[in-house]
Each structure stands twice: as structure tokens, then as C-alpha cells.
């Protein structure tokens, strides 16, 4: 029995492989963080390093995440390699009692630090934990090509993207009734994109990063991966339809979106409907 026999590690690694197999993680693209439950932390403690590595100041604070633990992909690591060598690609980090610093307790055996987007993930975990009453555990960032392509040709507004995606596949309004937020192009890895994303994630569980990718959150791996997958599938249909060069003859009308919402018992963001 070792760290990699734990169910939570197996499911985390499977999600990394699933993302790689979808083609969303060229080179070191993308990152995944998971906030562990107390039981999961307890099951991991026997496998933690004898000596924790030094505390690192994140430059951001998430008081509601004080004392929590995360699994994270490593900065510069490739999703392609996670399954092959998890100890080199992943880490478990502990957050201090102020929610300001992290230290590595397991993994990254050849050195390194958590994803370059860790401050972004951390701040967004903080926002989503508050927004979901503690239900949010997963933050996932990937580079799905069709959605990125859409950011070159659609106005970069929450409304335009939410409507286009809802109308490109019938299950979309059920899967993300709140729609998607859109963050304009920004330098990745910094505080600015973290703050802009947090602003969106106060009310959305998905934020498009223009000319870059998608940032999603959820309570578990299935729901979070499924959200990324559904949004990208919808974007693919949008791109395919527009790539024909043919005139659009029909779409899902706004009243049909309302009918889906009614029958499936979900609340669509009303201001996005005509
Ligand atoms: O981890 O995707 O946005 C590499 C990235 C940064
Ligand atoms: Zn990225």
C-alpha cells in the first residue's frame, strides 16, 4: 500500500490522462488542483515526506482555505507524463493557518513547485468554496482548441459566449445553466488574470480565457471534467457549423431554452435570454 494506491490519487491521475487524451494539454499546457477532504488527508499522512519542504508565500490570501490540503500538477510538468510518473509530475501541498503560504508534503521528487497558476487556482478555490457553501473541490484549466478558436470571432462578452454555447447543443443549458464568464486576453500566471477570473467565478463555474483556454470548477472530477468536455463539445459544433460557410437556417430559439430549463428544473441566467 502506497500513496498511489489511494483511490483519490487514482481518480486524480485518471482525470489528467483523460484531459491529455482529449488533446487539451499540449506540452505543459493546463493545470489541475483538488482540495482534499479531511479523511483523504488522514489517509495520505503516512506517505508524506518525513520533512516538509519550506513554506512559500503565495502573495495572495484565502482565509477560508487555511489549513487545507491540495493535490496539484507541477509547474512545467506535462499532463502526458502524469500517469507514467506521478511522483515527478504531481504534489500535495499544505496551506498554512493564515491561508497565505503553502508547503509541499509529497511528490515533485525531482524538485519543482505547484503549477504556475497555483495562486489563480487557490484564489478561485477560495471564491468557489464561498459561492458553493464548501461544495467546490476541483479547479481545472485546459487548452481546448475549438473554444479558443471561438475567442477570435465572437465578441468577448459573457452573454455572447453563453448564448452561442447554449444554442450549439441541447444539453448545454442543463449542464451550465449559469452560462460562462469571459476574461479578455491577459498575461497568464499573474495576479491580474487571477483577480479577473475570481470576479467571474463569483457567479460562474466556468471562465473562458480569450485566446488561451478554459477555467472550470466543480464538486468532483466527473462534474468538473464533464463541464470542460461539454463546453468544448459545444464549441466544436459551433465551429463546425460556422466552418461550412453555409447560412444558418435554424437554431435553438430562446423560448426553447426556456422550455428546457422548465422541464429539467434549472434556472437559466435570465439576462442572457432575449
Ligand atoms: O500550465 O496552461 O496557463 C501552463 C498553462 C498556463
Ligand atoms: Zn494555460
Residues contacting ligand 1 via CB (< 6 Å): 28-31, 115-117, 141, 188-189
Residue 135 lies in a domain: no
Q: What is the pLDDT of residue 266?
A: 98
Q: Based on the domain organization, do 216 and 93 belong to the same domain?
A: no
Beta-sheet strands, E only, within the chain: 31-35, 56-57, 69-73, 90-95, 101-107, 138-142, 181-183, 206-209, 213-218
- Residue ID of nearest Cα to ligand 1 atom 3: 188
The residue from 94, 117, 270, 271 that is catalytic is: 117
Residue 111 lies in a domain: yes
Query: What does each C-alpha distance from 130 to 3, 57, 82, 158, 220 come to in angstroms?
Result: 30, 22, 30, 22, 16
Q: Based on the domain organization, do 2 and 112 belong to the same domain?
A: yes
- Residue ID of nearest Cα to ligand 1 atom 4: 29
pTM for the structure as a whole? 0.97
Q: Quote the number of domains for the chain.
A: 2
Q: Based on the domain organization, do 110 and 146 belong to the same domain?
A: no
Positions of the chain with pLDDT lower than 50, given as ranges:
none
Q: What is the pLDDT of residue 87?
A: 98
- Of the candidates 52, 61, 47, the one whose C-alpha atom is nearest the C-alpha of residue 8 is 47
Q: What CATH number is attached to the domain comprising 78?
A: 3.40.225.10
Tens-digit pLDDT profile for residues 59-81: 899 999 999 999 999 999 999 99
d(CA 209, CA 197): 8
Residue 123 lies in a domain: no
Concerning whether 83 is annotated as a catalytic residue, the answer is no
Residue 110 lies in a domain: yes
Can you tell me which atom of ligand 1 is nearest the CA of 75? 1
For a pocket test of ligand 1, which of 115, 192, 228 has the largest count of ligand atoms closer than 8 A to its C-beta? 115
Q: What is the pLDDT of residue 172?
A: 98
Residue 213 structural domain: 140-274
Amino acid at each position: 500500500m502506497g500513496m498511489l494506491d489511494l483511490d483519490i490519487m487514482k481518480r486524480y491521475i485518471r482525470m489528467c490522462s483523460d484531459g491529455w487524451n482529449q488533446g487539451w494539454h499540449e506540452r505543459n499546457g493546463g493545470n489541475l488542483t483538488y482540495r482534499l477532504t479531511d479523511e483523504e488527508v488522514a489517509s495520505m499522512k503516512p506517505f508524506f515526506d518525513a520533512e516538509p519542504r519550506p513554506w512559500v508565500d503565495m502573495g495572495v490570501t484565502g482565509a477560508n482555505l487555511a489549513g487545507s490540503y491540495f493535490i496539484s500538477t507541477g509547474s512545467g510538468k506535462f499532463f502526458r507524463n502524469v500517469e507514467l510518473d506521478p511522483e515527478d509530475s504531481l504534489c500535495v501541498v499544505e496551506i498554512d493557518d493564515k491561508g497565505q503560504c503553502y508547503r509541499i508534503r509529497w511528490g515533485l521528487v525531482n524538485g519543482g513547485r505547484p503549477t504556475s497558476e497555483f495562486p489563480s487556482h487557490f484564489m478561485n478555490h477560495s471564491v468557489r468554496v464561498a459561492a458553493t457553501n464548501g461544495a467546490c473541490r476541483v479547479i481545472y484549466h485546459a487548452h481546448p482548441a475549438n473554444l479558443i478558436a471561438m475567442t477570435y470571432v465572437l465578441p468577448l462578452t459573457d452573454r455572447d459566449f453563453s448564448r452561442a454555447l447554449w444554442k450549439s447543443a441541447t444539453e448545454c443549458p442543463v449542464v451550465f445553466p449559469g452560462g460562462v464568464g469571459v476574461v479578455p486576453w491577459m498575461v497568464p500566471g499573474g495576479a491580474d488574470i487571477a483577480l479577473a477570473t475570481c470576479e467571474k467565478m463569483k457567479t460562474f463555474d466556468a471562465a473562458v480565457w480569450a485566446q488561451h483556454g478554459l477555467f472550470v470548477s466543480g464538486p468532483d472530477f466527473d462534474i468538473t471534467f464533464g463541464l470542460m468536455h461539454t463546453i468544448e463539445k459545444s464549441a466544436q459544433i459551433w465551429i463546425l457549423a460556422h466552418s461550412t460557410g453555409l447560412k444558418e437556417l435554424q437554431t435553438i430559439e430562446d423560448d426553447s431554452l426556456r422550455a428546457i430549463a422548465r422541464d429539467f428544473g434549472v434556472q437559466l441566467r435570465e439576462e442572457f435570454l432575449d
